[in-house]
A and B are shown apart, each in its own frame.
Chain A
């Protein structure tokens, strides 16, 4: 039986040392989200992607330590979402559209400009937790809620192209399911 996510004493603040950590891992920084957003605006896509995957990899490591290969979807959402919440990047939920896996993140502090960073974090977490090379592409943002579809890297480029051409996120998912049938 999969253990439940327990955030108790997950974050340790060593005031004397001035050190913040999560589950005895390396030190963490508590920084303003808008500052990080401003930094991402001036950074390149590769830089943002690399930065986000590193953050996600740490999250995925902790998830994998608690969950095995056969973890259910609910358990994964519970643990992955819990760790994502511990770092302050919003609340995670999962939607299944046909065969497409769509991740929903609500109240991400990074805003619309931070969706690329958020996607990179999730890519890193999935790759570390599930040992699969996945690409996460934001397809919709409305009222603080962002939808991100999980596809393979080759499909991700086509999805980004469709979105750039004005295809709606629903049609994008339909195309994914119809052309893959």
Chain B
């Protein structure tokens, strides 16, 4: 882009600024916002060519936009004249000429010249919404009041309902922002003024958000955990198919301390109870086994009917003494070198021809 083109664009921008500044403030929440005619050379006819620096300075010095200004949602299709509501009276807006330039430009882009003329001709007085014949959407502002800006429509209307008045703090870009016919966005705003002159974000109200679940933050009271003991119900009485009941006292696999050793283990138990260790060869062990067997055979349990508490004790003692395990130990082995390495004897290489000849002559099949 050359300098001349740039100058021309800036000059056109300046013309539009001044035109918009002279135009009465028109507020529209449903219909189209005051549209600005497409940038043509007509807007700039009467204006003598001003210095580029002055235009830029005037543009940059625009004060912050008033927070009460609502940015209407602009749709692509300009509304019909019959559907367009009366423009809302302006609320507190700074008398700066250029302060609402951004939004005005967005509005201007969307509408054609016809809509702009109609908007300009509209009276500036406030017309209550109740005078409209057509139904007013819920999201449309009811009255111009101080609380109006603070309470946007209850529900967020669907996109199909046309232009909606949004919250003052929402800085979401509108469709008009994308339709810049000029190069207003080429110049960087170095004034330090916030991009949006609207008020500080208040945030959507609960009504707007609809059925929103509030989540408590860190400052919320501590949650109360349910740590109560589970109720003892009878559900556990019904065993689950995956559960296996534990064996009771009568489980045969468990060790019963009251169980008495076998009758033949008594001798071995007495022998091993001795503190000194003695080595017994197999022959002696065999004699002991035979002796134990005789003892075991000699132990005869008295009839059950004649059993008395004392007799039971005696019988059990004899049974324990007679029934002891038979233990057979290996005899001690003297230390010996168990390893024996067999090495193949190397074949003697015949040193003389005679040995070689003899080895060959010994080959026999």
Chain A residues packing against B (C-beta within 8 Å):
69-73, 75-77, 94, 96, 99-101, 126, 130, 132, 134, 149-152, 154-155, 158, 175-177, 179-180
Contacts and interface: CB of A to CB of B under 8 A. Distances in A.
Interface string B341-365: 0000000001111101111111111
14 contacts: A71-B354, A72-B353, A100-B360, A100-B363, A101-B357, A149-B360, A150-B360, A152-B361, A152-B363, A154-B364, A155-B364, A155-B365, A176-B365, A179-B365
B357 A71 contact: no
A96 B350 CA distance: 10
B240 to A, nearest CB: 74
A74 to B, nearest CB: 9
A69 B360 CA distance: 17
Contacts of A99: 359-360, 362-363
B365 A73 contact: no
Interface of A is mostly: mixed
Interface in B174-202: none
Query: What band does the interface of chain B fall in when counting residues whose beta carbon is under 8 Å from A?
Result: 10 to 19
Given A75-B353, A99-B363, A177-B363, 12 more contacts: A70-B354, A71-B354, A76-B353, A94-B356, A96-B356, A99-B362, A100-B363, A101-B359, A151-B360, A152-B362, A158-B365, A180-B364
A91 B350 CA distance: 23
A126 to B, nearest CB: 7
Contacts of A176: 363, 365
A58 B263 CA distance: 98
A65 to B, nearest CB: 15
B354 A175 contact: no
A76 B356 CA distance: 11
A132 B365 contact: no
Interface of B: 350-354, 356-365
A100 to B, nearest CB: 5
B365 to A, nearest CB: 4
A155 to B, nearest CB: 6
A126 B357 contact: yes
Nearest to B351: A72
A171 B359 CA distance: 19
Nearest to A181: B363
A180 B361 contact: no
B350 to A, nearest CB: 7
Nearest to A133: B361
A71 B354 CA distance: 7
A71 B352 contact: yes
Contacts of A94: 356
A154 to B, nearest CB: 7
B360 A101 contact: yes
A180 B353 contact: no
A130 B353 contact: yes
B359 A69 contact: no
Contacts of B361: 132, 134, 150-152
Contacts of B354: 69-71, 130, 132
B357 A132 contact: yes
